[in-house]
Structure 1
Amino acid sequence: MPQSIPGPPANLSFSHVGFYVHDLPKMEEFYTRVLGFFATDRGIARGAPIVFLSRDPKEHHQIILAEGRTGGPEARVVNQVALRAGSLQDLRDMLAILENEAEVSQIDPINHGNAWSLYFRDPEGNRIEVFVDSPWYVEQPLIEPLDLSQSDDEIHDRTRSAYGGSPTFRPAEEWRAEFGEKLRAAGLPV
């Protein structure tokens, strides 16, 4: 009789991401100075220097940087790392910082309807997203340029006018409640 294979643990959630890097000191300096992370530990792991970074006292590390990246900048091993910000003003402030970083590339503010995002490539070409949740849900993927020179009200109005006609457009809290019910129905903790 075949053995039953259990499903994944019910309480899995995102914890951290690790990047292999070419130049560890340069990348640590970028993530601490530009994105405000703090080094929590550093050392040697499997023969390579490694540094642990966090911005949350409940998380020892949210990002790991480890020497050992091979290949050029076109060799992508991670699609993106997303960092949640608190407000549209945070995105504007981040944009101002990034525009003064010579080694940052492909700065791309995007309105997804359910979030307002600022994408960019770090000095080694890793794609980073800094985003703010919008108060709405709308089916993804949606991509529209985001003009961060607009006021918060103008961005809200633009989002409503761009996506409000979609049959899936609704308050994010409604979507979260519905998704929570799906998780509960599947026997997962919410």
Structure 2
Amino acid sequence: MSSVTQTQPQRPKVLSPKKLAHVVLRTNNFSAMVQFYKDFLGARSEYENDRAAFLAYDEEHHRIGIFAFEHVEVPKIPSPGLEHIAFTFDNLDDLVTAYEQRKEYNIRPFWSVNHGATTSMYYRDPDGNRLESQVDNFENNEEATAYVRSETYDKNPIGADFDPEELVRRVRSGEDHKAIKRMPDVGPRGFPTLPPTTG
């Protein structure tokens, strides 16, 4: 038997899409889910009936679709599937403004963490899907990429938890945003024990 390994022909790289257009969620809790996303994103309904809603909040004709299904069950966590959807704000002022406005709707983060590359707050929708609101901590993608390839990131890929009310205080005080975004050294922190699914 020959020990020569036959090489596979090199396949061309698939053409990448221009952008991620939208996310569609299925639910048996339709009205609550639609209202939550309108509140959470400051979104408007571009189309809505009793079984489908297409919500927009920027230049895209819709970013979130929600479909009503009668016979679906909320999966147990952890299980295979989507971990979270992330939404980016331009700056810390906008992040904390959205945080304060969402509190008026009784929407509060269950986890707030400086990942090093981003300052992030995590929320849950009525079905338990996880949503990240974030601000980039670096000036450009090149700096962010260099960080996630660094020894610092390898030592702690999760980041440092923070109190969102303390973040509001620091931002509103006029403290330099670069200083606020700088992740404190909390030592090694492994990948990951999932944050709690309730509470």
Higher mean displacement: 127-136 or 9-18: 9-18
Are 2:161 and 1:145 aligned?
yes
Match of 1:39 in 2: 45
Which residue number corresponds to residue 157 of structure 1? 179
Q: Which secondary structure does the structure 1 equivalent of 2:133 belong to?
A: strand
Q: Using the TM superposition, give the Cα deviation of residue 8 of structure 1 relative to its aligned residue in structure 2, in angstroms.
A: 2.0
Percentage of pairs with the same residue: 24
Gapped regions of structure 1 (runs ≥ 5): 164-190
Describe the shift of the 1:118–1:5 C-alpha distance in structure 2 as closer, same or farther (beyond 3 A).
same
Alignment of 1:1-190 (within 5 A): 6-43=12-49, 49-57=51-59, 59-68=60-69, 70-72=72-74, 74=76, 77-102=81-106, 104=107, 106-135=109-138, 137=144, 138-139=147-148, 140=153, 141-146=157-162, 147-148=166-167, 149-151=169-171, 153=175, 156-160=178-182, 162=184
CA distance in 2, matches of 1:144, 1:161: 7
Q: Could you say which structure has the higher strand fraction?
A: 1
Q: Would the alpha carbon gap of residues 129 and 93 (structure 1) be closer, same or farther in structure 2, given more than 3 Å must change?
A: same
In structure 2, what residue type is equivalent to 1:110? V
User: 1:105 deviation in Å?
Assistant: 6.0
Aligned pair in 2 of structure 1 residues 130, 161: CA closer, same or farther (>3 Å)?
closer
Taking structure 1 as reference, are residues 96 and 159 closer, same or farther at Cα in structure 2, changes over 3 Å only?
closer
Task: Report if the CA contact (8 A) 1:105-1:122 is conserved.
Answer: no
Q: Residue deviations 1:94-138, cap 9 Å, x none?
A: 222333444x46522211122111111112211011111122522
Give the Cα–Cα distance (whole angstroms) in 2 for the partners of residues 110 and 31 of structure 1. 22
SS at match of 1:117: strand
Structure 2: where are the runs of 5+ without partners?
1-7, 186-199
TM-score w.r.t. the length of structure 2 is: 0.65
Counterparts of 1:80 and 1:116, CA distance in 2: 15
CA deviations on 1:37-67 (whole Å, 9 max, x unpaired) are 11112358xxxx211111122x111111111
Computed over aligned residues only, the root mean square deviation of the Cα atoms, in angstroms, reads 2.9
Aligned partners of 1:65, 1:108: CA distance in 2, in Å? 25
Which residue type is aligned with residue 178 of structure 2? Answer: H
Query: Does structure 2 retain, via aligned residues, the 8 Å contact 1:37–1:55?
Result: yes
| Match of residue 184 from structure 1 | none
For the structure 1 residues 31 and 118, does the alpha-carbon distance in structure 2 shift closer, same or farther, using more than 3 Å as the test?
A: same
The whole-number CA distance in structure 2 between the counterparts of 1:101 and 1:12 is 34
Structure 1 residues 37 and 116, CA gap change in structure 2 (3 angstroms): same
